[in-house]
Amino acid sequence: METQRLFLDADVVINWLIQETETASGKPLWEAPYKIINLIENKAVTGIISITTLMEIRYLLRRKKSYTSQQVEDDISKLTSIFEVIIPDEINLLKANSLQAEHHLDPFDAIQLSLVTGLTPVILVSRDREFIQIAKQFITALTPEEFL
């Protein structure tokens, strides 16, 4: 039996990396992503991430989370060691452009959605509720807590 394949959005990975908590409620946003990453590390599920997601994570950690360059690269290296990294091609980018024209998606989400629609069966795991609603038109998309 083939293991489930999960495509993680940048927000989920960031939650885990910085052990993020929700400001208003104090809810530990990192706990469910931690459990999912654990499943990936133990090969209970297959984790997939795109090079553009890694770039987004690098950007967010450098700009918004005050990480040193070495910390950022150490985290990126860890991610590439446990995730299958996929690289969009020109077909993915053309499809992403069409998806963005049809739906309210940022460029990163449009690229991710174009990639995951070609990877079925796959589950997109994100915290972005708007992205999840759009993605559900094409694939299975869940929050980390819903997946668990």
Residue 49: which pLDDT band, with cuts at 50, 70 and 90? very high
Confidence (pLDDT) at 66:
72
Confidence (pLDDT) at 67:
82
Q: What is the dihedral of CA 85, 112, 53, 8, to 10 degrees?
A: -70
Q: Taking the domain 5-87+123-147, which CATH number applies? A: 3.40.50.1010
Please, what is the average pLDDT of the chain? 95
Which stretch of DSSP H or E encloses residue 50? strand 46-50
pLDDT at 116 exceeding the cut of 70: yes
Q: 67 CB contacts (<8 Å, ≥6 apart)? A: 61, 75
Query: Which tens digit of pLDDT belongs to each residue from 51-78?
Result: 999 999 999 998 876 788 899 999 999 9
d(CA 82, CA 60): 20
Tokens standing for residue 6: 């999960």
What does each C-alpha distance from 63 to 19, 36, 110, 122 come to in angstroms? 17, 26, 22, 30
pLDDT at 1 exceeding the cut of 70: no
Query: Which tens digit of pLDDT belongs to each residue from 76-97?
Result: 999 999 999 999 999 999 999 9
Pick from 109, 115, 146, 120: nearest CA to 9: 109
Provide the whole-model pTM: 0.93
Answer yes or no: are the C-beta atoms of 106 and 9 closer than 8 Å.
Answer: no
Confidence (pLDDT) at 109:
97
Answer yes or no: are the C-beta atoms of 99 and 116 closer than 8 Å.
Answer: no
pLDDT at 38 exceeding the cut of 70: yes
d(CA 59, CA 53): 10
